[in-house]
């Protein structure tokens, strides 16, 4: 792997560690480095133990790392919790009042550098100097964050930044952490998964979003709201998740490409709405940011445990598509695609992400906005006959969708079984015809399926199968094994439903051992592959402690995992 | 010219003598009085006998889930503010299953009309107590009489300062048509709670009973007086007032979105330049 430095900032919520982390990451990206940022936090606003982690160097990095090169401890607890992860040559930066007697410790008299509420800025100055970043890059990041709105605060921050920079110049030397790389383009966007989803939705033509706040999905919507006015997007915080999805369905029915964003518990409430979207054939995008369940589970942690829930949510039988992005770029592109597929199939479509992907950030090359093709809802009425039939029976299952109020045609949609006019019907023949019409849309969804991506050669000794956010850690683990001369490849699914076995079955069959890596306890995706493709994977690596996969975790598990019996 | 015939005539699934017939006719008359053509109107309903009303006239229709007519109606209005949106359902749908949506809708004040067919019983499921059933109302499901206090939607709406609150009666169709027309013309969320005899399952609140208890508010009643409106809304027993009980001018929810000044969201182009500038912000 490329040489990298893993920097971890730890402290209580409210100490400003996210601010330092974000500013430092931004400065690093502008200075031409690659970063991978991830966060760990508790379900509380003040206190608790939080960390902000940055891997930096030439990259690229797609996953967090466990061992630490530079630890910034904003409180004593951070030292206790993370001292075991420190590398042999690690630096530990801590306030003189609790600096431990450990080798590599830099005891900093923070009181001399500035007032307590700016110790995060002081830490930023120290880190900037230690990493030999240009001072201007740091200052510009601080300036961009504080904006022109708070000129006095900016002056105060600059003072602390300079003082801490000078302190580091005088007191820290010979630590050996030299950043390599630094040649990457400066015009890269630093985005986390949820920001990329929000931007993808706006690029994809989203016009309406309703939500009820729930970690880790809320930040998708908060990001949308920042840009809603510029992009002509209407949003509403609904009274509950049931209200949110019904509002989105109403808006979509009336012509606004719509989405909701939630997590497992909120999605449980939305299940009847999913069924409504399917029956009324109303497009809607549902982003489900997974976290450990059941029930409230671990609100700020990660898991891939809701695949089967999302796959089956909603009563009755109907087609759906489920996308599961594995990278920041994919969050952007797949969200656009998911909106388009929802519109084309007149169906509920899902985006399955999780806390790990939501909160991890990477620099990505500026997206080409000219290349985006926003969704257009419905069709022009043209010479559509009157009375108009919203649910006309067609060969491909798609009835021409007009929007209410935009012509003299009347649009009638119904949650009951209905005839071609949209009116309630209890006729059994109508029922069969309508069920079959709706189910025919699965063929259209299959034609649009994103094929899984094979990284490496076909026919290796080991093939890691994975989906969604596990992609990065799996790629890193596979590369590490290849570095040891082993024959390894990985197959990543960024769409988990529908599955089209001819796209991947031969790849599975050609591999020696097939290891499914997924963030849940029971092997939901492995089971789905078995059901749909008749292929039983030899082994499974699971993680369900609330933490994301890392390459280390996968490599360690590979050594200890025993082959599974057939039938998971 | 729009006429009642433009709104069509259909066979229904309602019992002979049902109060729903009167409400349907009043609604058609109100729409005509407001000069609205069927394609300008979106009727959104939930589930229940009342929720079938939109199927029995010509208009755009979204017949959704039990209790969920209001969020669908609000979403549709926010996507196309030019639509005249009417949410129509029964007391179980609006005040029971949809209670939270009802409260939230009144707080938002989207330009929307809520017509609640209030027969004080669950009709479609054959006669259980509803939120507005009288305390002590005996049914198969409540053999010892309903224990819970009777929900007074009008009093709740007035207390919350909803911008238009009226009570009508299915047995006074002309009066009701007038109330519905006023509700449609009101800028804001307008509730019309409509007392409706259920000839099959409510043997207490019958046509005779309503005739004995209901009275229409006097000409000089001032619906802008909030304190008086609260007292009037709480009057439900020996005497039941019908009419516009409370109304006020209030900013529209949708007016906070400048984009909605430009009409329906459908057809509004996505700004690539706006998107480009937004992306620059993440550099």
For chain A (568 residues), the mean pLDDT of every run of 10, in chain order, is 82 86 92 92 80 92 92 94 93 94 92 92 94 91 81 90 95 82 87 97 98 97 97 98 98 98 98 98 98 97 98 98 98 98 98 97 92 93 95 97 98 98 96 98 97 98 98 97 97 98 98 97 97 95 96 92 47
What is the DSSP annotation of B3-54? -GGGG------SPTT-HHHHHHHHHHHHHHHTT--GGGEEEEE-SSSGGGGG
Interchain pair B39, A258: CB under 8 A: no
d(CA A512, CA A300): 37
d(CA A198, CA A358): 11
Bridge-partner residues for B60, per DSSP?
B42
Interchain pair A249, B64: CB under 8 A: yes
Question: Going by DSSP bridges, is the β-strand pair A47-57/A34-40 parallel, antiparallel, or unpaired?
Answer: antiparallel
pLDDT for the residue numbered A13: 84
Q: How far, rounded to the nearest angstrom, does the alpha carbon of residue A45 sit from its chain's CA centroid? A: 22
Query: Which chain A residues touch B40 with a CB distance below 8 Å?
Result: 405
H or E element: which one contains A288?
Answer: strand A284-290
CA angle B48, B52, B55 (to 5 degrees): 165
**Six token digits for residue B51:** 């929720």
- Give backbone dihedrals phi and psi of B247, rounded to 5 degrees, phi first: -155, 155
A127 and chain B in contact, CB less than 8 A: no
Q: Which residue has the tokens 């007697």?
A: A101
pLDDT for the residue numbered A562: 52
d(CA B132, CA B142): 14
- Give backbone dihedrals phi and psi of A27, rounded to 5 degrees, phi first: -60, -40
pLDDT for the residue numbered A450: 98
**Six token digits for residue A248:** 């989105």
Do the Cβ atoms of B245 and B237 come closer than 8 Å?
no
| B175: closest CA of chain A, how far (Å) | 29
H or E element: which one contains A362?
Answer: strand A361-365
DSSP-derived 3-state class of residue A292:
coil
Checking B259-264 for CB contacts under 8 A at 24+ apart, the result is B259/A229, B259/A232, B259/A233, B259/A234, B260/A234, B260/B78, B260/B81, B262/A232, B263/B80, B263/B81, B263/B82, B264/A254, B264/A255, B264/A403, B264/A405, B264/A406, B264/B79, B264/B80, B264/B81, B264/B82
Interchain pair B266, A367: CB under 8 A: no
d(CA A558, CA A543): 12
A378 and chain B in contact, CB less than 8 A: yes
Residue of chain A minimizing CA distance to B98? A243
| B218: closest CA of chain A, how far (Å) | 37
Strand order in the sheet with A208-211: A234-237, A208-211, A258-262, A284-290, A348-354, A321-323, A495-497
d(CA A493, CA A447): 16
d(CA B161, CA B103): 11
Do the Cβ atoms of A234 and B253 come closer than 8 Å?
no
Q: Which residue has the tokens 């097939």?
A: A514
* Interface confidence (ipTM) of the complex: 0.98
Query: Which chain B residues touch A35 with a CB distance below 8 Å?
Result: none
Query: Which chain B residues touch A405 with a CB distance below 8 Å?
Result: 39-40, 42, 60, 80, 82-83, 264
Do the Cβ atoms of A202 and B275 come closer than 8 Å?
yes
Q: Which residue has the tokens 């449609």?
A: B184
pLDDT for the residue numbered A370: 85
Residues 6+ apart with CB under 8 A from B228: B221, B222
- Give backbone dihedrals phi and psi of A507, rounded to 5 degrees, phi first: -70, -45
A406 and chain B in contact, CB less than 8 A: yes
pLDDT for the residue numbered A60: 86
pLDDT for the residue numbered A195: 98
Average pLDDT, rounded, for chain B: 96
In total, chain B counts a number of residues equal to: 283
* Ramachandran sector of residue A384 (left: φ over 0; alpha: ψ -120 to 50; beta: rest): beta
Bridge-partner residues for B194, per DSSP?
B117, B168
d(CA A462, CA A115): 55
H or E element: which one contains A446?
Answer: helix A441-447
Task: Write the residue in A249, A367, A414 that is nearest to B75 by C-beta.
Answer: A249
d(CA B97, CA B68): 8
Question: Going by DSSP bridges, is the β-strand pair B189-195/B214-216 parallel, antiparallel, or unpaired?
Answer: unpaired
Q: Determine the residue among B79, B107, B265 to mutate to test chain A binding: the one whose Cβ has the most chain A Cβ atoms within 10 Å.
A: B79
DSSP-derived 3-state class of residue A4:
strand
| A269: closest CA of chain B, how far (Å) | 13
Do the Cβ atoms of A89 and A176 come closer than 8 Å?
yes
Do the Cβ atoms of B264 and B80 come closer than 8 Å?
yes
d(CA B36, CA A204): 35
d(CA A281, CA A390): 9
**Six token digits for residue B77:** 């209005």
pLDDT for the residue numbered A566: 38
Strand order in the sheet with A453-455: A453-455, A488-493, A462-467, A513-518, A539-542
Interchain pair A250, B71: CB under 8 A: yes
DSSP-derived 3-state class of residue A412:
strand
A22 and chain B in contact, CB less than 8 A: no
d(CA A20, CA A121): 7
- pTM, 2 dp: 0.96
Look at residues A204, A208, A141, A366 and name the one whose alpha carbon lies nearest to residue B276.
Answer: A366
Distances from the Cα of A319 to the Cαs of A114, A356, A441, A442, A467, in angstroms?
A: 60, 28, 7, 5, 20
Query: Which chain A residues touch B110 with a CB distance below 8 Å?
Result: none
Q: What is the dihedral of CA B89, B91, B92, B98, to 10 degrees?
A: 70
* Ramachandran sector of residue A531 (left: φ over 0; alpha: ψ -120 to 50; beta: rest): alpha
Q: Determine the residue among A144, A250, A314 to mutate to test chain B binding: the one whose Cβ has the most chain B Cβ atoms within 10 Å.
A: A250
Query: Which chain A residues touch B73 with a CB distance below 8 Å?
Result: 250
Residue of chain A minimizing CA distance to B259? A232
Residue of chain B minimizing CA distance to A361? B282
Size of interface A-B (CB pairs under 8 A): 215
A384 and chain B in contact, CB less than 8 A: no
d(CA A66, CA B150): 60
d(CA A104, CA B247): 72
Q: Which residues of B236-265 are buried (b: 16+ CB within 10 A; e: fewer)?
A: beeebbbbbbbbeeeebbbeebebbeeebb
Do the Cβ atoms of A49 and A76 come closer than 8 Å?
no
**Six token digits for residue A266:** 């909120």
Distances from the Cα of A79 to the Cαs of A10, A71, A75, A121, A350, in angstroms?
A: 8, 8, 7, 20, 41
Residue B3 has pLDDT above 60, yes or no: yes
pLDDT for the residue numbered A563: 52
| A494: closest CA of chain B, how far (Å) | 24
| A432: closest CA of chain B, how far (Å) | 21
Please report the residues numbered 145 through 204 in chain A whose beta carbons come closer than 8 angstroms to any beta carbon of chain B: 186-191, 195, 199, 202-203
């Amino acid at each position: 792997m490329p040489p990298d430095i893993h920097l971890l900032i730890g402290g209580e919520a409210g100490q400003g560690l996210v601010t330092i982390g974000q500013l430092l990451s931004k400065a690093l990206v502008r200075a031409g480095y690659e970063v991978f940022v991830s966060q760990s936090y508790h379900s509380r606003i003040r206190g608790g133990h939080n960390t902000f982690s940055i891997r930096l160097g030439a990259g690229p990095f797609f996953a967090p790392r466990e061992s630490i090169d530079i630890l910034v401890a904003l409180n004593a607890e951070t030292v206790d919790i993370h001292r075991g992860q420190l590398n042999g040559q690690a630096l530990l930066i801590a306030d003189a009042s609790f600096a431990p007697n450990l080798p590599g410790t830099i005891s900093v008299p923070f009181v001399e550098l500035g007032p307590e509420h700016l110790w995060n800025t002081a830490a930023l100055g120290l880190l900037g100097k230690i990493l030999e970043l240009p001072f201007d890059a740091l200052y510009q990041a601080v300036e961009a964050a504080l904006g022109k709105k708070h000129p006095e605060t900016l002056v105060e921050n600059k003072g602390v930044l300079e003082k801490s920079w000078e302190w580091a110049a005088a007191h820290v030397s010979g630590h050996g952490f030299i950043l390599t790389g630094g040649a990457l383009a400066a015009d890269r966007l630093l985005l986390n998964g949820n920001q990329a989803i929000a931007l993808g939705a706006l690029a994809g033509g989203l016009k309406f979003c309703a939500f009820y706040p729930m970690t880790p999905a809320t930040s998708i919507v908060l990001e949308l709201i920042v840009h809603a006015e510029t992009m002509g997007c209407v949003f509403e915080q609904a009274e509950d998740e049931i209200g949110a999805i019904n509002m989105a369905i109403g808006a979509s029915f009336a012509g606004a490409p719509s989405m909701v964003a939630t997590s497992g518990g909120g999605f449980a409430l939305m299940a009847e709405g999913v069924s409504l979207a399917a029956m009324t054939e109303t497009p809607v995008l549902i982003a489900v940011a997974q976290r450990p369940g059941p029930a409230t589970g671990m609100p700020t942690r990660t898991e891939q445990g809701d695949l089967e829930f999302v796959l089956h949510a909603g009563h009755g039988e109907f087609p759906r598509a489920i996308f599961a992005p594995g990278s920041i770029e994919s969050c952007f592109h797949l969200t656009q695609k998911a909106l388009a597929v929802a519109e084309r199939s007149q169906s509920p479509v899902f985006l399955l992400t999780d806390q790990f992907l939501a909160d991890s950030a990477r620099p990505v090359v500026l997206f080409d906005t000219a290349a985006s093709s926003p969704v257009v809802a419905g069709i022009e009425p043209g010479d559509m006959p009157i009375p108009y039939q919203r649910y006309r029976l067609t060969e491909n299952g798609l009835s021409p969708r007009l929007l209410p109020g935009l012509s003299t045609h009347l649009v009638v949609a119904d949650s009951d079984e209905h005839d071609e006019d949209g009116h309630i019907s209890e006729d059994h023949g109508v029922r069969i015809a309508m069920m079959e019409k709706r189910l025919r849309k699965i063929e259209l969804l299959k034609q649009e399926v994103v094929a899984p991506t094979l990284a490496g050669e076909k026919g290796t000794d080991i093939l890691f199968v994975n989906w969604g956010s596990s992609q990065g850690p799996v790629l890193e683990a596979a590369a590490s094994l290849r570095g040891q001369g082993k024959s390894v490849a990985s197959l990543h699914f960024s769409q988990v439903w529908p599955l089209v076995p001819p796209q991947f079955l031969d790849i599975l069959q050609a591999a020696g051992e097939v290891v499914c890596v997924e963030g849940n306890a029971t092997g939901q995706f492995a089971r789905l592959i078995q059901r749909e493709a008749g292929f039983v994977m030899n082994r499974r690596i699971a993680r369900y402690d609330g933490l994301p996969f890392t390459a280390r975790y996968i490599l360690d598990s590979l050594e200890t995992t025993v082959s599974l019996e057939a039938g998971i | 010219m729009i006429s009642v015939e433009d709104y069509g005539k259909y066979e229904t699934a309602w019992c002979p003598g049902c109060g729903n017939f009167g409400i349907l006719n009043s609604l058609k008359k109100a729409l005509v009085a407001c000069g609205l053509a069927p394609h300008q109107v979106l009727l959104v309903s939930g589930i229940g006998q009342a929720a079938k009303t939109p199927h029995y006239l010509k208009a755009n229709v979204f017949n959704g889930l039990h209790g969920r007519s209001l969020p669908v109606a609000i979403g549709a209005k926010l996507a196309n503010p030019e639509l005249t949106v009417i949410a129509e359902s029964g007391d179980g749908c609006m005040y029971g299953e949809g209670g939270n949506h009802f409260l939230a809708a009144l707080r938002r004040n989207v330009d929307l009309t809520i017509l609640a067919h209030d027969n004080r019983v669950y009709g479609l499921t054959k006669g259980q107590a509803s939120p507005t059933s009288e305390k002590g109302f005996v049914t198969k499901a409540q053999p010892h009489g309903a224990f819970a206090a009777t929900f007074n939607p009008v009093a709740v709406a007035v207390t919350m300062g909803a911008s238009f609150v009226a009570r009508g009666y299915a047995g006074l169709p002309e009066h009701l048509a007038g109330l519905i027309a006023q509700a449609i013309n009101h800028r804001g969320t307008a509730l019309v709670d409509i007392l409706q005899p259920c000839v099959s399952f409510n043997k207490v609140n019958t046509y005779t009973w309503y005739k004995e208890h209901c009275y229409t508010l006097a000409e000089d009643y001032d619906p802008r007086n909030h304190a008086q409106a609260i007292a009037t809304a709480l009057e439900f027993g020996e005497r039941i007032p019908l009419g516009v009980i409370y109304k006020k001018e209030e900013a529209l929810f949708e007016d906070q979105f400048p984009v909605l000044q430009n009409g329906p969201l459908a057809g509004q182009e996505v700004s690539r330049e706006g998107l480009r500038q937004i992306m620059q912000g993440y550099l």
